[in-house]
Amino acid sequence: MTADDSGAGPREADIAPRETGAAPREGDSAPADGAARADGTPGPAGAHGGDMTGGTDRTGPAPGTVNGASTDSAGDDPDDDTIAIRLEQLILGSDRRYTPFQAARSAGVSMELASRFWRAMGFADIGQVKALTEADVLALRRLAGLVEAGLLSEAMAVQVARSTGQTTARLADWQIDSFLEGLTEPQDSGLTRTEITYPLVELLLPELEEFLVYVWRRQLAAATGRVVQAQDDAEMVDRRLAVGFADLVGFTRLTRRLEEEELGELVEAFETTAADLVAAHGGRLIKTLGDEVLFAADDAGIAAEIGLRLIETMANDETMPELRVGIAFGTVTTRMGDVFGTTVNLASRLTSIAPKDTVLVDEAFAEELGRMGEAPVSEADAKAAAAAAADGAGPLPEYRFALQPMWQRPVRGLGVVEPWLLSRRG
């Protein structure tokens, strides 16, 4: 949340700074997403946990467990343990053969480097349990090979592991929590959900794998295209973008009123609607934060259209609370798919002070819309352009948006800012 539940912009002194995401340090013991699960195999990518050599910071079951059951003795339900192990073998494609030390030695890398890779991917500490497979060895060998060939530095290889782990962790959690859960409801056949899961995964796995590779290649092509279009090397990292936050008003109050399932459905509907609108109009969804989404666009006009469409779409949905949007334009640092910098912080603060069902933008964004001919910076400019067109001095501007300057106000850490109210013209 970026404001109180009343829908009115709070006093600046009441607004806590929003953390917009900071790149994990290379020495961090865990990525940001997921929960550790030391289950006898590397936990889901993105799980919190130490390295594979004896770290103690973990939130999942203790090392020496397999899918939550002890490796030393059978669990309460041996059948469930058997199915879990069979599912693991099906998904990973090979049996457990190596301890972490044996896997590192077989891959030809030091245990220290192997631990850094595993930690970056989000795999929890498992001590020296024989729980790794040939696929784990191959992954280590490939990453180390990229470093040895000089294609990646060691630090870059760790970043590749971390970004891939964090992204796929969320994907895997979503698929299990939402997709598979809906498809594995107990059927009239009398089979349990557990018994249905194995044949279902067996059928879906190759199709989902192919689809994942297809989407990744598509996204990689789009990202590569943006890099190629950059004017210089510096612009590849520090780029001028429009960055926007969209935030549900009164979400804290809703959490007290709605049942958990209803709240989950509302958040999912909001994220789905926002993601579809951002993509359809040429923007990029950076991340979702439950009651808030962060998006970016190379073009201020695209960002303006996205912001207004979000407001209009949510206003027409009686099941959704009001929305507010803040957008800023300027230099942004991109890293691991996230965005950072003063521009992002300013967009966050604008969202905090925006009244419900409105879009607030900063002065740089307003100037960029004016430069592009998308909006007059003032009504005087609009009248002057219309008069010039009437005299035959140029075409009549077809402004899509209107801008209204709001009150100047100090913003903690950013000095005095002048928000502009964005709307459709006419």
Q: What is the pLDDT of residue 420?
A: 94
Q: Residues 307, 244: contact at Cβ < 8 Å?
A: yes
Find the mean pLDDT for residues 78-96.
Answer: 80
Q: What rounded mean pLDDT belongs to the chain?
A: 76
Residue 23 has pLDDT above 50, yes or no: no
What pLDDT does residue 268 have? 85
The 10s digit of each residue's pLDDT in 70-84 is 344 334 555 666 777
pLDDT of residue 137: 93
Identify the architecture of domain 234-424 in CATH: 2-Layer Sandwich (3.30)
CB-based contacts of 307, cutoff 8 Å, min separation 6: 244, 246, 325, 327, 359, 361, 422
Q: According to the model, what pLDDT value does residue 324 have?
A: 95
Residue 346 CA: distances (Å) to CA of 7, 93, 153, 159, 353: 19, 47, 34, 27, 11
pLDDT at 32 over 70: no
Higher pLDDT, 174 or 357: 357
Position 2 pLDDT exceeds 90: no
pLDDT digits (tens, 9 = 90+) for 376-395: 876 666 666 666 656 665 56
Predicted TM-score of the model (pTM): 0.61
Q: For residue 369, give the 3-state DSSP assignment.
A: helix
Q: How confident is the model at residue 185 (pLDDT cuts 50, 70, 90)?
A: low
Measure the CA–CA gap between 19 and 425, rounded to whole angstroms.
Answer: 34
Number of continuous H segments (helices) and E segments (strands) in the chain: 14, 12
Confidence check: pLDDT of 217 > 60: yes
Task: Say if residues 65 and 146 touch (Cβ distance below 8 Å).
Answer: no
Give the range with max mean pLDDT: 33-42, 229-238, 263-272, 305-314.
Answer: 305-314
Assigned token pair, 143:
């990453």
pLDDT for 350: 94
Q: 164 vs 72, which has greater pLDDT?
A: 164
Beta-carbon-side half-sphere exposure of residue 1 (alpha carbons within 13 Å):
20
Could you tell me which residue, 139 or 14, shows the higher pLDDT? Answer: 139
**Contacts of residue 134, Cβ cutoff 8 Å, sequence gap at least 6:** 94, 97
Burial label, 294 (beta-carbon count in 10 A; 0-12, 13-18, 19+)? buried
**Rounded mean pLDDT, 113-140:** 88
Average pLDDT rounded to a whole number, residues 7-26: 38
